[in-house]
Amino acid sequence: MAMKIYNGYEIVVLVAIVFLGSFMENSATTTGTNTTDMSTAILISVDQSGNADFKKIQDAIDAVPSKNSELYFIRIKPGTYREKLQVPVDKPFITLSGTLASNTIITWGDTGEINQSATLSVFASDFVARYLTIQNTFGTTGRAVALRVEGDRAAFYSCNILSYQDTLLDDTGRHYYNNCYIEGATDFICGNAASLFEKCHLHSLSTVGGAITAQHRNSSSEDTGYTFLNCKITGIGTALLGRPWGPYSRVVFALTYMSSVVVPQGWDDWGDPSKQSTVYYGEYRCYGPGADRTKRVGWSKSLSNQEATPFLTKDIIGGQGWLRPLPTHFKRGSTNVTVNVP
């Protein structure tokens, strides 16, 4: 931990060694043409008590200038923030960061159309969230998205994403989820993004046969799909690995622990046998009682080493070119505040 005092504000950056490695191994500028300084961010603080720049997270997001080219780091002090948030498309390079997901909670309880119910909607590119709980508390009787991601190049580290139906609308763009806990019952990771989930914990609340994924790839030419690498699946009842929202749905589980919550058939065609010949559902060297493939549907794949290789690195989302490290310098206006990262 490094601490500096500036104009009465306490600037604290907590860096857990276990998570720092995952940030630093992905150090890169976001694009070859972008000149944004990835080591320095403008700091904005949020605290419900009023001892910060803003009391509300949305007010802090709104304060970021349109079409900004600098990193903005919005530091959220512990608390439960009852807000329905949007990060607009014209505000890239924003980070929302708590200290721990367990004590920094963004919550709402909406339902209705899948595109309207999200607690947090991210439309901007180059977005990062760290150490947050994002939840929709509507309940079990309708669509209730916790997190909707439509911006390109979005990354989530050590976040809890919680709801029941359609928890994570991982809709469009390239996304990375690291060490996140994602909970739901029905199609609780859905959409048509190209996303890598690494070291994530997926927990099914389904009592009978709910689906973990509903990937929405619509044609063989779309370079989208979900990859789950070194993840863990648990639950309270039984669950499918996935079913096809789109006819060319693509999902791969690799090196993932599957508890007995995963039903023996593994996958479902959602009542449309024609999709069996167009979907791409693969498993590679998964383990645990739910990973037994002897009773899997015949149209899912047990991937060979060669077939699995493209799904085993961040290259599947082009991540080496845009995942960025934690900033090491912070500033307010023109004044720099140096933070020493171990």
Largest CA distance in the chain: 65
Q: In residues, how long is the chain?
A: 342
The Cβ-side half-sphere exposure at 148, using a 13 Å CA radius, reads 23
Cβ-in-10-Å burial (0-12, 13-18, 19+) of 163 comes to: buried
184, two tokens: 């739901």
Q: Which secondary structure element, helix H or strand E, spans residue 120, and what is its range? A: strand 120-122
Question: In sequence order, which ranges of 224-322 are alpha helices (DSSP H)?
Answer: 305-308
Only one residue has tokens 């190209």, namely 194
Contacts of 320 (CB under 8 A, 6+ apart): 26, 28, 314
Return the active site residues.
Answer: 166, 187
